[in-house]
Amino acid sequence: CSMGNSTSRLYSALAKTLSSSAVPQHQDCLEQPDSVQLDPIDPKDLLEECQVVLQKRPPRFQRDFVDLQKNTASYHRPIRVMQWNILAQALGEGKDNFVQCPMEALKWEERKCLILEEILAYKPDILCLQEVDHYFDTFEPLLSRLGYQCTFFPKPWSPCLDVEKNNGPDGCALFFLKDRFELINSANIRLTAMKLKTNQVAIAQTLKCNETGRLFCIAVTHLKARTGWERFRSAQGCDLLQNLKNITQGAKIPLIICGDFNAEPTEEVYREFSNSSLNLNSAYKLLSPDGQSEPPYTTWKIRPSGECRHTLDYIWYSQHALNVNSALGLLTEEQIGPNRLPSFNYPSDHLSLVCDFSFNQDPDRLL
């Protein structure tokens, strides 16, 4: 396909990440590495380039936003937050055993474009990702050129490193638009359980909204997986909550927490977040008729042990300081299809969650 002169430089940059077979050396430092300032890119141009790569794949699924604040006037632009476990490439190809997903559907050269297409379609102001193992060669170079400030915190003992020809460890990544927010404080948190440091991490950043001048904290995490680790997840959740209480000065600063908690709503760690003194609510409960029930699933896959359909992913928020204006509806069972996720249509075994938030108009209202 002819790319045209206007996008040839952009295509060259994207193609370089697509065709690179070399595994970059993992950067041990946890801070943002110094990088060469690259020219900004237009998200529409990048989306077009992704669609060229994906032209032989089925089109993206249609998902609609559900308006949750029909009668509330908003004086400022909402803050769009996206939460997504994107599926580490090394795990998808080497460990997760998606028995109904063809290996061809997991090719990184195309799957990365499906991930980027999803992000570009919803245009989040803040993006929280888990299982990122292509941060330095894909997400940081491209998203920084789209205007995002980027932070990555890898797991100390990532399971990706056990996979041959891996791309380094996976971890959590947090991105926010620099023209909308100013970074006030950033903390990389290695979660503890029973006073022991664990392999799970979190990033918490205090931002100032340039339009309103209001402070808020955004956090991203990924708790321990697997059945039998419920008490471990509970301990990790308690540690994260304590860290966030300190960062938010005892909930004086509004808070949004995104994560793959690897926990159903019946687990103790879910109850800890629901009952925390931070006064949190789960945004996706608001999609239910009574506003009290989580979605029936946020991940749906088939492994050798059978079909796995669970609600594990959440966006928590300070319910008296923030309003949820809208939330992105989930994929239906018909859209997902009998072979479940991931697939040629969708790049991850987890669904992305997207919410639009606004500040409560009474700045003196207690949390």
Q: What's the pLDDT tens digit per position in 188-220?
A: 999 999 899 999 999 999 999 999 999 999 999
- Its sign, for the CA torsion 250, 255, 259, 264, is positive
β-pair type (280-282, 313-318): antiparallel
Mean pLDDT across 32-51: 82
SS3 282: strand
Domain spans of the chain? 78-361
User: Could you give the CA distance from residue 164 to residue 26 in angstroms, rounded to a whole number?
Assistant: 15
pTM over 0.85: yes
Could you tell me which residue, 96 or 311, shows the higher pLDDT? 311
φ, ψ dihedrals at 110, nearest 5°: -100, -35
Quick: pLDDT tens for 87-101: 999 999 998 899 999
CA distances from 74 to 274, 285, 320 (A): 26, 21, 16
Mean pLDDT across 100-121: 96
The chain-wide mean pLDDT, for the chain, equals 90
**Short-list 341, 332, 343, CA closest to 303:** 341
β-pair type (79-85, 126-132): parallel
Rg of the chain over CA atoms, in angstroms?
A: 20
Could you tell me which residue, 255 or 9, shows the higher pLDDT? 255
Token pair of 8 as six digits: 């040839």
- Percent of the chain past pLDDT 90, that is, above it, reads 82
Lowest-confidence pick of 17-31, 193-207, 224-238: 17-31
3-state per-residue secondary structure call for 154-220: ECCCCHHHHCCCCCCCCEEEEEEECCCEEEEEEEEEEEEECCEEEEEEEEEEEEEECCCCCEEEEEE
Q: Which CATH superfamily is domain 78-361 in?
A: Endonuclease/exonuclease/phosphatase (3.60.10.10)
User: For residue 287, what is the enclosing H or E element?
Assistant: none
